[in-house]
Amino acid sequence: MEQFDIRKEKCAVVIVAGGKGLRMGTDIPKQFLVVNGSPILMQTIKRFYECNSSFQIIVVLPEEQISYWKDLCKEYQFAIPHDIACGGSERFYSVKNGLSLVSPDASLIAIHDGVRPYVSSDVIVECFKKANESGSVIPVVDVFETLRHVQKDGTSITVPRAEYKLVQTPQVFKKDILFKAYSQEFDSKFTDDASVVENLGYPVSLVQGNRENIKITTKADLGCK
């Protein structure tokens, strides 16, 4: 079997950036906050571009934020090629809108959170490699803290943390699987792309993520007190 080479594959990545900054407590949506000299979303896009400059990169933004994003790109002279899709009322619809721009010749598609700028190149490559084999892949990391399950009566019990994983992105799928999954009607139980795919009965493989690949949500994630 020919060894997988991500640079030779037709791949697309849909980067969903629909945050409004509410939990961050700022007027600026969190994907546009400047960290280490540039907006978070630019750093996220750069991670994928550096991994494979031939990626088709699609950024999904709320319609009212698109002009602001374009102004930021001019201000920071950000020239990495990318397409822009309008976000929807739910993440499901945002991803679906992004998928509508995917090139017909793409074979593998990643969905990634716009506020996860610290995903490693190794994780990106491994996700695509495994998806090429199994069809559906998500990166996960171990749970180190003790977990408790709160029951319906308000009491709680400790659960074995070894049986649980924390899920990250990019979540990578073969195109036919992902397109079929997103042809379904929206369901409130869809919490990520893997849950949409699983709803059709497709198994999802796991690969090891990198612990630094956090989803920036609050000021604490930026090291702010």
> Total domain count for the chain?
1
pLDDT at 60: 98
Would residue 1 count as lying in a domain?
no
pLDDT at 219: 67
Residue that is written with structure tokens 């809108």 in the block = 97
pLDDT at 221: 59
pLDDT at 220: 60
Would residue 69 count as lying in a domain?
yes
Would residue 105 count as lying in a domain?
yes
Domain with 32 in it: 8-222
Mean pLDDT of successive 10-residue stretches along the chain, which has 225 residues: 78 87 61 94 97 96 96 98 96 97 97 97 97 97 96 95 97 98 97 97 98 85 53
Would residue 2 count as lying in a domain?
no
Would residue 142 count as lying in a domain?
yes
Say how far apart CA 40 and CA 150 lie, in whole Å: 35
pLDDT at 222: 64
Domain CATH for 89: 3.90.550.10
pLDDT at 149: 95
Would residue 3 count as lying in a domain?
no
Q: What is the pTM of this model?
A: 0.92
